[in-house]
Structure 1
Amino acid sequence: MSHPTSQIHNAQDSVLLVGISGPSCSGKTTLSRLIRNIFPPGLVFILHLDDFYLTDVEIPVKDGIQDWDCVESLNLPELQSALQHIKEHGKSPPSLVSKEDQNSVAEHGVDAETINELKTKVTDLISKNKWSTPIAIVDGFLLFSQDMADIRRLFDLKLFLRTSYQAAKRRREARSGYVTLEGFWEDPPGYVDRIVWPNYVKDHSFLFDGGDVEAKLDEGVCREIGVQAMPREAEGSMTKCLNWAVELLADVIEKSNHDQ
């Protein structure tokens, strides 16, 4: 699939704002943390959409189950305010303390040699292009949905991960639970089939040919909204996914220097 053109980024900008989205358990947080690890210390920081949930008692209930996977469960004004702060100041709001970093992620499976090679590549690239702009990564399951179009427009680079229903279900059901604002949440039986996957289909079918989230992405739609889609061969391989993401970031860094 061809890559749409990302927004023009100038080295003088206060931040490069990167959105990483996709279905639950597609590797968003894992990828974000790997990128942070590969870039020089302090250059990359992460904001998690999960840090903008409403309080536990405010999460909407559908069919007798709390729905943590819908846009109504999020504090969108607070999220937009935080992103505007980052765009203006190049750092997270001082009042924002991440609870998401208390949640574990699965083993990434990327070998040390690959990580070291990417670190060397990125270090050389940053030195060559004299890049010092902070990179803010926001990871979240709804960042590119139509209901969040105003927020979607704020990102300079939009990376969309994908995974199959079977993989998402297996990974989600293997998780122990999630730290919330007021406690801890564990998915009840059948939660993926009743809540998680139907919501994903509803919010992201517009990105796919014929509305089928297991099919190819619609190149025209992705190009129009500036979404970069993970190659199909990277599904199930965080090594390939990481290489793809670093290549896109490298392209932005190189083009930024040439545009000065």
Structure 2
Amino acid sequence: MTSHTGIIGISGPSSSGKTTLARLLQRIFSKAGEDSLETFIIHEDDFYFPDDQIPYTTTASGKPVQDWDTIDAIDVNFLSSTLVYVRDHGHLPPRLKSIQDRNEKSSSGVDDGTILQLQQEVGTRLRSLRRHTGEGTASPVPRTIAFLEGFLLYSPPESENKDHVLRPVHGNIDVHLFLPAPYERVKSRREGRSGYVTSGPAPEPTLLPQRSSVSDEVDLEGEDDRPPQNFWTDPPGYVDDIVWPRYVQDHAWLLLPEGNSQHSGTLRADCQELIKTVGQGVNLRTDAGVIIAPGQGTVSISDLLKWAVEEVMKYLETAHERQ
């Protein structure tokens, strides 16, 4: 029997607030009174390959460094298979144990009064939806919501790139939220972090070959057999050498102003020209099937939360209207 589970994607550059927003949304929708939804979070960071399989790249200065911001560092097959499993079962597969939840947590920045108010409003709207579902009719409103957060989740419109590597991930997401953040904020926030918990044996300090982001078939019912955790700290200059250039290149289809997206292939060949073109990276397209947060990355987390709650409710209410 297939579970009625909705998947809400939350993407954006490093340090844009994805994890914080996912945790806040879970708190709102899982504690909205008697009509609360079953909720859980899926962290894309839990789908990194082990440390010794993370590819190296060479910076502009000629220094080899591990590249955690390339799609080749992510087990895309494991991620897409997990999303299919979540849709079928309504919970995470046994194999997946979160590493992300071991990373440092900071204050959400949203006061308890605002959270309580949103919980009450969501509860009222959910009750209304279920009250208007015909007696004896299966409710089209999902009873379970998974909040998927990560820096590489979406693919461009099929008309622009039908075979994009993230197509199977994008296609298993019901709502595609995106949090823009200007370069200066990404740099300051990322460089202010202490580091990240990782998994697997430590890599050899050598230039490793690029590897495919597609793994063998995944046994999702098996135990998590990944090795013990390590800890990654960004080396000096990592944001400018790796994080921001990778983000801009991978999201050129979304970052380039409307009308210029057709030139992304040409610009992609010249990374520095592409970075120059997108500037602070906050002028995003609105015609690519992705819902862009308001304010160009400058709104408060409280306003961001209210916007996201409304988008999730729109999805739930639209599902109800389709019955």
TM-score (norm 2): 0.72
Moved more, 69-78 or 211-220: 211-220
Q: Secondary structure at the match of 1:39?
A: helix
Question: Paired residue for 2:237?
Answer: 190
Moved more, 178-187 or 129-138: 129-138
Letter in 2 for 1:251: K
Question: Paired residue for 1:77?
Answer: 77
Letter in 1 for 2:301: M
User: Within 1, Cα distance between the matches of 2:282 and 2:7?
Assistant: 28
Q: 2:14 aligns with which of 8, 21, 24?
A: 24
Question: Paired residue for 1:48?
Answer: 43
Change (3 A) 1:233 1:77: closer
**% identical aligned pairs:** 41
Letter in 2 for 1:166: E
Question: Paired residue for 2:179?
Answer: 161
User: Within 2, Cα distance between the matches of 1:257 and 1:189?
Assistant: 50
**How far did residue 129 of structure 1 move?**
1.3
Q: Secondary structure at the match of 2:305?
A: helix
Matches within 5 A, 1:108-257: 108-130=108-130, 131=141, 133-145=143-155, 146-182=164-200, 183-208=230-255, 209=257, 210=260, 212=278, 214-220=281-287, 222=288, 226-232=289-295, 235-257=298-320
Q: Deviations over 1:149-194 (max 9, x none)?
A: 2211111100011101000010001101101013110000100000
Q: Is the CA contact 1:18–1:159 (under 8 Å) kept in the aligned structure 2?
A: yes
Moved more, 205-214 or 101-110: 205-214
Q: Deviations over 1:175-214 (max 9, x none)?
A: 0110101311000010000000000000012113146262
Question: Paired residue for 1:107?
Answer: 107
Change (3 A) 1:201 1:103: same
User: Within 2, Cα distance between the matches of 1:132 and 1:164?
Assistant: 34
**How far did residue 13 of structure 1 move?**
6.0
**How far did residue 118 of structure 1 move?**
0.3
Moved more, 24-33 or 147-156: 147-156
**How far did residue 107 of structure 1 move?**
2.5
**How far did residue 93 of structure 1 move?**
0.6
User: Within 1, Cα distance between the matches of 2:297 and 2:304?
Assistant: 5
Larger RCO: Structure 1 or Structure 2 (Cα < 8 Å, ≥ 6 residues apart)?
Answer: 1
User: Within 2, Cα distance between the matches of 1:157 and 1:18?
Assistant: 5
CA RMSD of aligned residues (A): 1.7
**How far did residue 219 of structure 1 move?**
2.2
Change (3 A) 1:106 1:171: farther
Moved more, 87-96 or 239-248: 87-96
Q: Secondary structure at the match of 2:165?
A: helix
**How far did residue 132 of structure 1 move?**
5.2
Matches within 5 A, 1:30-41: 30-41=20-31
**How far did residue 233 of structure 1 move?**
5.7
Change (3 A) 1:13 1:156: farther
Q: Which runs of 5+ in 1 are unaligned?
A: 1-11
Q: Is the CA contact 1:43–1:132 (under 8 Å) kept in the aligned structure 2?
A: no
Q: Is the CA contact 1:161–1:229 (under 8 Å) kept in the aligned structure 2?
A: yes
Paired residue total: 245
Q: Secondary structure at the match of 2:242?
A: helix
Change (3 A) 1:256 1:147: same
Q: Deviations over 1:116-149 (max 9, x none)?
A: 1101011111222125520011100000144312
Question: Paired residue for 2:133?
Answer: none
User: Within 1, Cα distance between the matches of 2:99 and 2:303?
Assistant: 28
User: Within 1, Cα distance between the matches of 2:126 and 2:282?
Assistant: 37
Question: Paired residue for 1:5?
Answer: none
Question: Paired residue for 1:9?
Answer: none
Q: Deviations over 1:31-69 (max 9, x none)?
A: 000000111256211001000000100000111100001
